Amino acid sequence: MNKLFYPKLAGQNIIKNGKFYFPYLLTVVISAAAFYIMTALSYYNDLPEKQRYDYLMMFMTLGSFVLALFIVIFLSYTNSFLMKRRSKELGLYNILGMGKGSIGLVLCWESLYTWLCGIVIGIPLGMLFQKLVMMVVGRMMRFNTVFEFYVSVKGIAATAILFAAVIALTVVTALLFYAPKTGAGQLTAVITQHGQTVRTVPLTSLDKELVIPLDDGNYHLTVHVDGTGVYVADSDCPGQDCVHTGAISRAGQSIVCLPAQVVISLESASSDVDAVLG
């Protein structure tokens, strides 16, 4: 299986939906920067006024907890809103024959890219504004000390852990909504080309390997189907992603050839699905 297919498709989706993703990504970056600054202040311990420092630390710790809760809720809601705006795009993937498991993997990679970008940009941005915020807080608290710039390792770790938890939450949500159904029905290979179903083959009906040639006048593919799965043996399309994907053997998995507009998916078939064996 080509391990780069889903990451590459996810990256293309983010670029294509830039007008939706840019505000979302900007929100993630600002949230990461704000949370790092808050946690860095709560762990700063180079203050002579012990009583005031304890008060500041308690205030910042409470503020970090409230901010973390707000980030989880707000960004989860924002991500859900973004997915709803892309409902037509996800519906098109279904029409092309991509299984829910494949769509879920694409969404997982998109979430991972988004959160990693937020952490990589947000934490350094927080470091840039960290001393300025510390000076403002010191003036408000009337600390008679000079705040030195420092990198809070604990602040970085806390920010990374928080956003890793949000990544896990979005990944689990994506898998819950887009995971393939694992019913008791037999697996059926569904082959679509140019949006039209051209073959449905129940795997259990095969006692030997079935070779299916696909040719639309521009590209030629050779599909092999047997009782265990499906794979594309050869293709003259550029990129060869369909060939590199390898064999699929579980419900919800798909092989996609974008140049030839061919999608091969495995579905959990019910008893009323007829095989078109030609």
pLDDT at 56: 67
| Residues 24 and 68 both lie in one domain | yes
- Domain edge (last residue) among 178, 212, 246: 178
The predicted-structure confidence for 21-40, as pLDDT tens digits, reads as follows 888 889 889 999 999 988 88
- The pLDDT of residue 236 is 93
Structural domain span for residue 100? 5-178
18 shares a domain with 79: yes
Residues 198 and 249 in one domain: yes
Residues 38, 97: one domain?
Answer: yes
User: Are 55 and 147 found together in one domain?
Assistant: yes
Those residues whose C-beta lies under 8 Å from the C-beta of residue 85, and which sit 6 or more positions away, are 20
Domain-terminating residue out of 178, 211, 230: 178
249 domain residue, yes or no: yes
Tell me how crowded residue 278 is: count the other CB atoms within 10 A of its CB.
8
Nearest of 264, 255, 113 to residue 188 by alpha carbon:
264
Total of domains in the chain: 2
Give the global pTM: 0.59
Packing angle between helix 100-141 and helix 87-96, nearest 10 degrees?
Answer: 160
CA distance 259 to 239: 9
Distance CA 28, CA 23 (A): 9
Q: Which residues make Cβ contacts (< 8 Å) with residue 157, sequence separation at least 6?
A: none
> What mean pLDDT is reported for the chain?
79
- Is 277 contained in some domain? no
Spatial CA neighbour of 252 closest among 221, 224, 236, 229:
229
Query: Which residue, 20, 28, 33, 120, is CA-closest to 75?
Result: 28
Domain membership flag for residue 276: no
- Looking at the structure, do residues 114 and 190 belong to the same domain, yes or no? no
Please indicate whether residue 178 or residue 253 has the higher confidence score (pLDDT).
253
Query: Are 137 and 193 within one domain?
Result: no
Which comes out higher in pLDDT, residue 76 or 256?
A: 256
Mention every residue, 6+ apart, whose C-beta is less than 8 A from residue 181.
100, 251, 252, 268
Same domain (yes/no): 124, 64: yes
Ramachandran region of residue 104, left (φ > 0), alpha (ψ -120 to 50) or beta? alpha
In this predicted structure, which of 53-67, 94-108, 252-266 has the lowest mean pLDDT?
Answer: 94-108
Whether pLDDT at 109 is above 90: no
Predicted confidence band of residue 122 (pLDDT cuts 50, 70, 90): very high
Q: Residue 176: pLDDT band by 50, 70, 90 thresholds?
A: low
Residue 274 included in any domain: no
Q: Which pLDDT value is given to residue 278?
A: 33
What's the pLDDT tens digit per position in 40-67?
A: 887 776 655 555 566 667 777 888 889 9
Residue 278 lies in a domain: no
Residues 151 and 236 in one domain: no
In this structure, are 158 and 53 located in the same domain? Answer: yes
